[in-house]
Each structure stands twice: as C-alpha cells, then as structure tokens.
Amino acid sequence: ATVANAATAYINQIGYRPADPKEFALVDGSGDIEIVNAAGQTVLQVTPKASSYWAPSTQNVQLVDFTALTVPGTYSIKQGGQVLRSDLKIADKTFEDVTKAALKWYYYQRASMELEEQYAGQWKRAAGHTNSTVTLHNSTGTSGTIQSSKGWYDAGDYGRYIVNSGITTYTLLSLYEHFPEYFNTLKWNIPAEGTLPDLLAEIKYNLDWMLTMQAADGGVYHKLSTLQFPGDVMPAKDTEKLYVIGKGTAASFDFAGVMATTYRVFKTFDATYAAQCLEAAKKAYAWGLQNPNKAFTNPSDVATGSYSDGELSDEKAFASMELFISTGDASYKPTIDPNKMSIVPAWPEMYGLAVYAAATHATEVGADAETAKQMLLQYANEFAYAASSGFGVVMSNEDFVWGSNAVAGNQGVFLLYAYYVTGEQKYYEAAKKVIDYLLGKNPLDMSFLTGFGTKSPKLPHHRPSTADKITDPVPGMIVGGPQPGGEDIGSKSWECKDYRTGVPATSYTDNRCSYATNEVAINWNAPFAYIAGALEALNAG
Ligand code: 9MR
C-alpha cells in the first residue's frame, strides 16, 4: 500500500515577484518538489534543501528555492505525485496592493471624522470622539481643558498614545523620505489634503493631532484616552469622557524626533507647516533636556494602554539625531555608541532609529556614520545567516513577544537599511523573507494581514471590526501574532480560552478575545507597510 505524503508547504500566499529570490518552506516532505503550471505541465523540479530544526515551532523544516521560476502565473506544488497546494503565485507588482491596504488602514483608524462610503466602502462609519475639548487629568501636573482632535486610534482600542504614534509616524515618514518618487504617485482612495501625496496626507492627519498634545512649556502629554478601555462598541458609541493623561520625557523626545523629521519631509510641500513642526520639535527637545527622567506610568484611576518605559536615553538619542540632521546644528549631535544598540527598534527601543539615521546620512554625520554602519552590519550578518534556515526568518524564541509580527517586521526594516548602506543582495533577500513569513510562510500557514491571502485572520481584536456587524474585518491590518505569554487568557470581558501550544510560534488564536495575539496596532502595521512599499519602490521602473 502507498502511504499518503503528509507534507505541508508554507508559502507567501500573496505571491512572489518574478525577479526576486523565491522560497517556500516544507515540513514532513520527502523527495523532489515539482512545480506545475495551470496547463498541468511541470515547469520546475527542485530538490529541497537539507532540513533544519526551527526552535520556535520545534519543527524540522526544509526550504525549497524556486527562484528559477520567473513566469507570472498560478502554480501547484507537487511532491510524490501528490498536490500539496495550488495557490502559489508569481506576479508583477506583487506587493503593491498590500502596500496600499496596509497604508489605507490608517485612514480606517482616524478619530474625529466620519468615514464616508466613497472611501471606506462597506466599512463606512460615523465619526467618533468628536468633542475636541478634552480635560487635563491631574497627572499632567495642571488642570483645565485643551483642544485636541484627529489622529489615529492606536489599535483595537480607541486610545491615542504619543509614544506609539512616535515610532509609527517616523516609520511611515521614513518610507516617504526613502522613496519619494514611488509615493508621489501611489494612491489608495483617501480624502485629498491639498496636493499632498496620499502617504503624506495620511501622516499629516496624525501629525495634526500630535501637535495638539504639546503644552505651552514644550513638554508633550503622554496620551489621550478615556479612563478605562471601552466595550465592543463603534467609535461613535464610545462617549465616555476623554482625558489628556501624563506628560513625560519619552513622549517629548519621541515627539521631537518625529517633528524634526517632518520638517525635512514636508518643507517642499508646505514650508509653513514644516517650520511649525521644527519649532515644536525644538521646544519639546528642550523640555526633555530639562526633564530627563519623567517616566510615565498609569495613574491609579487609569487603565488604558500605558506605554511605560523607564529607559529614556534612547528616545533622547533619536530626537537629537533627527534634530541634528534637520538643522545641521552640531549642539544636537549625539555620539553613536557602538555598545548601545541591543535590538531592533520597537516603541520602547528607539536607539536603533538614531543608528539608522546616522548610517544613511554620512555627509551630515561624518565619522559616526561608519560606526553606525558597522553596528548595523554586525547584526544584519547574524540576521542574514538566521534567515537561511528554519522558516527563513530571523525570529528566535525570545522574539515571540506581544506583537511578534512587528518584531519580524522591524527585523526586515533593519535588513533593508543594511542593504541601503552596502548594496549587498543577501540583505535584500533576508528582508524579503520577512514578508514571506508575514504573508504565510510560517507554521500557522497564515497570512497575518486581514483581507489578504488564502487564510487570514477573520476575528481580530479590533473594536470596529467586532461592532460593525460586517462579516469581513477591516482590511489591511497586521495582527500582533503568536506569542506564549497568554496575558489575555481568562480575561473577564472576553473569556479567552487557553490557546497556547507549548511553543511560541504557534501560540495564537484567531479570536476576538485575544488581545495578546490577535489585536492590531498602528506600530505593527508600519514595518509591514515599510517593507512591502520598499520592495515595490526598489523595483519600480
Ligand atoms: O504593544 C504593546 C506591547 O509591547 C505591550 O507588551 C502591551 C502590554 O503592555 O501593550 C501593547 O500595546 C497596547 C496598548 O497598551 C494599548 N493599545 C493596544 C496595544 C496593542 O495591544
């Protein structure tokens, strides 16, 4: 009797660019792989690579390189005469649609305005959080009200948090700054903002809100939210009182870095706005220097996202570097310390952004640019090596934290910087594999982007997607991804059952209850959008 082939092939479900390196992952396979076209002809036969053990899923994985196949089309993957799957695609501009969708999602997250059907389609909704007179919580050190509106909701909740807006807005600004030509023409049907390209129009919506969060003395408030998280309601139904909460060093430096970058990016479009942002950056930075240790923690009556961080020197380095590059004023210039960068950037880890900026601004930065470049390459070489086995990604057990998909994404952005400063193909390839992982080449066999791929999240922890009564979730959202912490298990409001598998890379549930694995967040979409956009822009005509 013949034993059925038990192999599973894990692919980038969106597809592969014709000229790119191409690879899928195979578990429990045996023998050669055949790739078969729509007419039933075998167009490529490949011997899978030797298997390697991938700790995060405790699987033995074989990588299958099919770079030789370059003809656009839809293909089947066969082994031992058996079809493993039939959704393998090669297509031009493969990542253009996902780039647009991931960026369009920021429009869906807009506070204070109605989402009209002509832009939002079936996800049209009423405006939320329209009362712009907001109360200063006593944690700000003052009282009264300020005017604050616009901005993006952070995640599945409706808070707006400066720290998380910082890394998010910066990542999107840098996407424009690196690829202005590509993004000057790419459009995804959002309301016009003068003559700004869509990417800058979207970013400006959040910058306008961030500007409202600066106090007269230059310091920046930490967040704008209700005191407790709302229930599963649409934005317009979350009518609890809004407060401006906290004021601190991280918010002020993050704000300063973002506004300094904004100056460079916006000055040719709107010199007045750019100048306003640079002034705001300088004032926030000066406040940060005067108040270097004001770490934020949630006051006892507040339960919304805390984004607390006790280590503030990296936020300062980020702000200094961006101010220095934008102004040329040497008094801002930080020294790049090769011992400092421990990991890729994340909302509490901003030092890497200063390193990126130094490495890519050699003319302005001088000798530190070389130090920064060597720091990048030291890690990027390890990353490129890690990407040659297992599921083809850098991710190791300790990378599976809350928002693991953003860890993967930021590793990809890191690798792209290594590619920019060296031009070496191996870094491009390793960055490219990150997008394969996020779009399906992973042990869950899942595209983590809502609305895209053969199998994608249907029940994200995202209040509008829960409350809107529409079957499909809002599209273009990257969910947080697998991680073994289980912080949401047994949660009172959502009664989350234990979904942990005992290994990090599959501890995930596509369930609304799971804010620790299936929520969405602006800082998780940004690295994905950056990589997808960069891969298209780098290859555009
Ligand atoms: O992304 C944040 C993650 O790094 C933290 O471990 C987690 C718990 O503090 O919070 C995450 O941020 C959440 C924020 O506090 C509120 N909005 C939803 C965010 C994503 O879950």
Q: What is the pLDDT of residues 117-130, one digit of tens each?
A: 999 999 999 999 99
Q: Where are the beta strands (DSSP E) in 445-496?
A: none
| Alpha helix segments (H runs only) across 311-394 | 313-327, 351-359, 362-365, 367-386
Q: How far is the CA of 528 from the centre of ligand 1 (A)?
A: 18
Q: How far is the CA of 217 from the centre of ligand 1 (A)?
A: 29
pLDDT at residue 338, as a whole number: 87
Q: Which atom of ligand 1 is nearest to the CA of 521?
A: 20
Of the candidates 390, 541, 398, which has an alpha carbon nearest to the alpha carbon of residue 19?
541
Q: Atom 3 (ligand 1): residue with closest C-alpha? A: 402
Contact 274 CB / ligand 1 (< 6 Å): no
pLDDT of 2 strictly over 80: no
Of the candidates 508, 513, 534, 296, which has an alpha carbon nearest to the alpha carbon of residue 403?
508
DSSP assignment, residue 80? Answer: T
Question: What mean pLDDT comes out for the span 195-216?
Answer: 98
Query: Taking a C-beta distance cutoff of 8 angstroms, is the pair 252, 323 a contact?
Result: no
pLDDT at residue 538, as a whole number: 98
Contact 154 CB / ligand 1 (< 6 Å): yes
Contact 230 CB / ligand 1 (< 6 Å): no
> If DSSP states are collapsed to H, E and C, what string results for 416-436?
HHHHHHHCCHHHHHHHHHHHH
- How far CA 131 is from CA of 213, 241, 243, 312, 319, in Å, comes to 15, 9, 11, 33, 31
- Could you report the per-residue pLDDT of 377-431, keeping only the tens digit for each? 999 999 998 889 999 999 999 999 999 999 999 999 999 999 999 999 999 999 9
Pick the CATH number of 96-445+520-539 from 3.40.1350.10, 3.20.20.70, 1.50.10.10, 2.40.50.140: 1.50.10.10
Query: Taking a C-beta distance cutoff of 8 angstroms, is the pair 478, 520 a contact?
Result: yes
- Between CA 277 and CA 283 the distance in angstroms is 10
Q: Where are the domains of the chain?
A: 8-90, 96-445+520-539
* Token pair of 88 as six digits: 């393998």
pLDDT at residue 494, as a whole number: 82
Contact 157 CB / ligand 1 (< 6 Å): yes
- Residue 176 DSSP SS3: helix
Query: 90 pairs with which residues across the strands?
Result: 16, 73
For the ranges 15-19, 163-167, 212-216, 493-497, the lowest mean pLDDT is seen at 493-497
* Token pair of 434 as six digits: 């990150």
Q: Atom 6 (ligand 1): residue with closest C-alpha? A: 402
Question: What mean pLDDT comes out for the span 210-222?
Answer: 98
Q: How far is the CA of 380 from the centre of ligand 1 (A)?
A: 27
Is 349 considered catalytic here?
A: no
Phi, psi angles (nearest 5°) of residue 400:
-85, 75
Is 461 considered catalytic here?
A: yes
Q: How far does the chain reach from its first CA to its final CA, in angstroms?
A: 54
Query: For the complex shown, is ipTM > 0.95?
Result: yes
Query: Taking a C-beta distance cutoff of 8 angstroms, is the pair 445, 57 a contact?
Result: no
- Between CA 440 and CA 453 the distance in angstroms is 8
- Between CA 64 and CA 52 the distance in angstroms is 12
Query: 155 pairs with which residues across the strands?
Result: 521
pLDDT above 70: percentage of residues in the chain: 99
- Could you report the per-residue pLDDT of 43-95, keeping only the tens digit for each? 999 999 999 999 999 999 999 999 999 999 999 999 999 999 999 999 999 99
Q: Which atom of ligand 1 is nearest to the CA of 461?
A: 21
* Total count of residues recorded for the chain: 541
Q: Please report where in the chains the tokens 């953003």 appear, as a residue.
A: 406
Question: What mean pLDDT comes out for the span 162-173?
Answer: 98
- Between CA 402 and CA 515 the distance in angstroms is 9
Contact 402 CB / ligand 1 (< 6 Å): yes
pLDDT at residue 541, as a whole number: 74
pLDDT at residue 6, as a whole number: 85
- Could you report the per-residue pLDDT of 78-91, keeping only the tens digit for each? 999 999 999 999 99
User: 20, 34, 96, 157: which is the annotated catalytic residue?
Assistant: 157
Mean residue pLDDT across the chain: 96
Contacting residues for 478 by C-beta, under 8 A, at least 6 apart = 102, 405, 406, 409, 438, 448, 449, 520, 524, 525, 528
Q: Atom 4 (ligand 1): residue with closest C-alpha? A: 402
Of the candidates 84, 106, 56, 54, which has an alpha carbon nearest to the alpha carbon of residue 477?
106
pLDDT of 342 strictly over 70: no
Is 510 considered catalytic here?
A: yes
Q: Which atom of ligand 1 is nearest to the CA of 401?
A: 6
Q: Atom 10 (ligand 1): residue with closest C-alpha? A: 305
- How far CA 412 is from CA of 226, 254, 279, 409, 432, in Å, comes to 35, 22, 33, 5, 7
Contact 305 CB / ligand 1 (< 6 Å): yes
Query: 521 pairs with which residues across the strands?
Result: 155
Question: What mean pLDDT comes out for the span 461-482?
Answer: 98
Is 329 considered catalytic here?
A: no
Please state which CATH class domain 8-90 belongs to.
mainly beta
Contact 488 CB / ligand 1 (< 6 Å): no
The more confidently predicted of residues 530 and 4 is 530
pLDDT of 97 strictly over 70: yes
